[in-house]
A and B are shown apart, each in its own frame.
Chain A
């Protein structure tokens, strides 16, 4: 189910003095099963872009095709998109509302009109998929830890069986172990369950480690679209956008500048070790 953004544009407060173009003529094709990292500093328009992709706000011009269908066409039922493209927002607190975790996860499938048995089955599968234990099912979602809340929020969207999962900074505010767990879960969804993932993150280090392809958004425009290794070669450009390189890449550049002939395209600790050992040992 490929997603195509076709000259997607979104203007806030059109025809007022405060008019701003949040998303400016973005065209991009996202293939099945890709793990995509979306980066851009706060206010770059990336959240608006996500909302356009998932049918939550109507574009000012341009459109989105999901599986070849124009989702903003007049005769298209936007409600049906929920079972195809799922989006998890930054704060799980914005969506949790039921008395128990299980009931909360049932909310999505129930809205899609499934009967009770189907709904509960989908909810159960989703909760298992995100790795929550049975004893959590009947607890109040508000009593859970930050990491667990995120899992419930993700399950709440997964229960609608989308093929594409969009996550807006799913690791914000979590401690290092919690971050790793959530990113590991997302990676599993992509690699094992063959879902298409669009991950929004501020952390270059996170993105560098996990994704296949990076989209850099700046000022509402798609500025860079390439593999992680390629993207981090655009050092000056990234800095101009208020983004930084992964720490490891920065270190490799500094090492090279000191006269040690290492290649500077390492983005993870493991790659850096390999490269340094190759040159120095």
Chain B
């Protein structure tokens, strides 16, 4: 079963000048087709303005394609009757942690989604508790979000989505505004969700280190999907990635350069351990 299926998805928006006259049409997403297997950890990479965020917003009907179709767990994203169900199936976490927390207390915020769905009070309590425990924020349930760090706020946002019991979570650059510690916290939480709970993760990012453990990476450039494969397959193509204004992790780059200079190192090294092991054999 494919949890997400996109077929020839195109999204255009009209640019207007100050008087409202049409200046031109921008094609932010250009004939993107892809599918995502349930339970996978997917990363979508791309530089600023590559269309990756616009595409992500199609995955729970925030934006509707100008052309083409998106299916979420078999539901057409344009089907208005299924709107609530689609939003429950594919939850979404955004970049700015401050602008997506609605509640003034952590637990009240996490409850927001289930409240909208009309879940009975007793079950909301259970859901809030288990979601906060999953992301490791249960001890903060009575705190004001304003007193949390960026990483903690993002984990609360993830819990807020989790409480809706989604099959898939789409995260639109959730770490862009965080410090290294916060980034680690969020990525760790996502990996646990994927491995333990089996939730499909679609992570949109431009930090390469975060994609090392992904099952599959899509690289977007100028609205199109230009690369598609496992991290190993993607990071092999160092020069090509640079063309798309991206870079491989430093370790991969180091291994790549050593290999070019004649050392016998496998052609795609992702972690320090792999590099060390490879060098020992030289």
Residue of A nearest to B48 (CB): A175
**Are A260 and B47 closer than 8 Å at their CB atoms?**
no
**Are A269 and B250 closer than 8 Å at their CB atoms?**
yes
**Are B279 and A260 closer than 8 Å at their CB atoms?**
yes
Docked Cα-Cα span, A252 to B165, in Å, equals 43
**Are A178 and B48 closer than 8 Å at their CB atoms?**
yes
**Are B258 and A277 closer than 8 Å at their CB atoms?**
yes
Residues on B with beta carbons closer than 8 Å to the beta carbon of A250: 272
Residues on B with beta carbons closer than 8 Å to the beta carbon of A224: none
Interface string of A68-94 (1 = CB under 8 A from B): 000000000000000000000000000
Interface string of B32-74 (1 = CB under 8 A from A): 0000000000000011110000000000000000000000000
Evaluate whether A273 and B251 lie within 8 angstroms (CB atoms) in the complex, with A173-B177, A176-B208, A250-B272 already known: no
**Are A269 and B253 closer than 8 Å at their CB atoms?**
yes
| Chain B contact residue count (CB 8 A cutoff) | 36
**Are A176 and B48 closer than 8 Å at their CB atoms?**
no
Q: How many whole Å from A138's CB to the nearest CB in chain B?
A: 13
**Are A42 and B279 closer than 8 Å at their CB atoms?**
no
Docked Cα-Cα span, A260 to B205, in Å, equals 35
- Inter-chain pairs besides A42-B149, A247-B249, A260-B280, 9 sampled, C-beta below 8 Å: A41-B181, A42-B150, A172-B176, A175-B246, A248-B250, A269-B250, A269-B257, A273-B257, A276-B279
A-B contact pairs, 8 of them (CB 8 A): A147-B48, A172-B176, A178-B245, A202-B179, A242-B181, A243-B180, A250-B272, A259-B280
**Interface residues in chain B, defined as those with a beta carbon under 8 Å from any beta carbon in chain A:** 46-49, 149-150, 176-177, 179-182, 206, 208-209, 245-247, 249-251, 253-254, 257-258, 261-263, 272-273, 275-277, 279-280, 282
**Interface residues in chain A, defined as those with a beta carbon under 8 Å from any beta carbon in chain B:** 41-43, 145-147, 172-178, 202-203, 205, 242-244, 246-248, 250-251, 254-255, 257-260, 269, 272-273, 276-277, 280-281
